[in-house]
């Protein structure tokens, strides 16, 4: 069982991206243990706050220290990632020399009601991850045109073709984690 830290870029109670994360959790239930990072209590990034580190920052960095991989599930805001996700990424990348993302394998997924399925946001995010020294999972991509009726908290997804696709994604992400786990590139904290 691999531990996956999941960051959902929406705080909305009925978030479709949270529902997508849950559907991926169901699809990978025999492979992964999903641990959802709590992004709501993170203050807006401010260098000055390192003087008295917020508990939510410590918790996020601790989760990342103990994980086998990361899953970002992002909505698309104005063709990019939402502030809640950008903020979390910034916090865990600091302070200098203590980048918590370094060496971690990451998958990216996202959904929006529009036909591009959050592709714009995902492409932006995927271009950030190597800068953070992360290893990005490439295929299959998960550009999901979402609707509320395609997700079910217990079943994951109500659509058979989508369920098969998500299970294939889980198997391939699992195999990717096996491959890259042998090549830990994590840079030691200075």
Answer yes or no whether residue 116 interacts with ligand FNR by CB under 6 A. yes
* Binding flags for ligand FNR, 73-92, as an x/- string (CB under 6 A): --xxxxx-------------
For ligand FNR, the closer CB: 33 or 79: 79
**What are the backbone dihedrals phi and psi of residue 96, each rounded to the nearest 5 degrees, phi first?**
-55, 130
* Binding flags for ligand FNR, 119-158, as an x/- string (CB under 6 A): ----------------------------------------
Answer yes or no whether residue 17 interacts with ligand FNR by CB under 6 A. yes
DSSP 6-70: EEES---TT-HHHHHHHHHHHHTTTTEEEEE---TTPPPP-GGGGGG--HHHHHHHHHHHT-SEE
**Helical axes 16-27 vs 160-181, angle rounded to 10°:** 70
Answer yes or no whether residue 13 interacts with ligand FNR by CB under 6 A. no
CB of 109 to ligand FNR, least distance (A): 11
Answer yes or no whether residue 112 interacts with ligand FNR by CB under 6 A. yes
First to last CA, the chain: 31
Q: Which residues contact 102 (CB under 8 A, 6 or more apart)?
A: 132, 133, 134, 185, 186, 187
Token pair, residue 118, equals: 């959050």
CB of 184 to ligand FNR, least distance (A): 32
| Contact pick of 4, 6, 7, 16 for ligand FNR (by CB under 6 A) | 16
- Kindly list the residues in this chain that would bind ligand FNR in the complex (CB under 6 A): 10, 12, 15-17, 75-79, 112-114, 116
């Amino acid at each position: 069982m691999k531990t996956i830290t999941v960051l959902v870029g929406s705080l909305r109670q009925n978030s479709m991206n949270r529902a997508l994360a849950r559907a991926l959790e169901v699809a990978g239930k025999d492979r992964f243990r999903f641990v959802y990072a709590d992004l709501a209590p993170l203050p807006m990034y401010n260098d000055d706050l390192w003087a008295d580190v917020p508990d939510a920052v410590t918790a996020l960095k601790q989760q990342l220290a103990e994980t086998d991989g990361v899953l970002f599930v992002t909505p698309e805001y104005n063709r990019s990632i939402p502030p809640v996700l950008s903020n979390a990424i910034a916090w865990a990348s600091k302070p200098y020399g203590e980048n918590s993302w370094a060496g971690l394998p990451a998958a990216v997924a996202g959904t929006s009601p529009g036909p591009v399925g959050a592709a714009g946001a995902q492409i932006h995010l995927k271009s950030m991850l190597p800068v953070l020294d992360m290893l990005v999972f490439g295929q299959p991509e998960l550009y999901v045109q979402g609707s509320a009726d395609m997700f079910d908290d217990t079943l994951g997804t109500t659509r058979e073709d989508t369920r098969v696709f998500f299970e294939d994604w889980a198997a391939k992400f699992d195999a990717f984690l096996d491959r890259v786990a042998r090549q830990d590139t994590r840079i030691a904290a200075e």
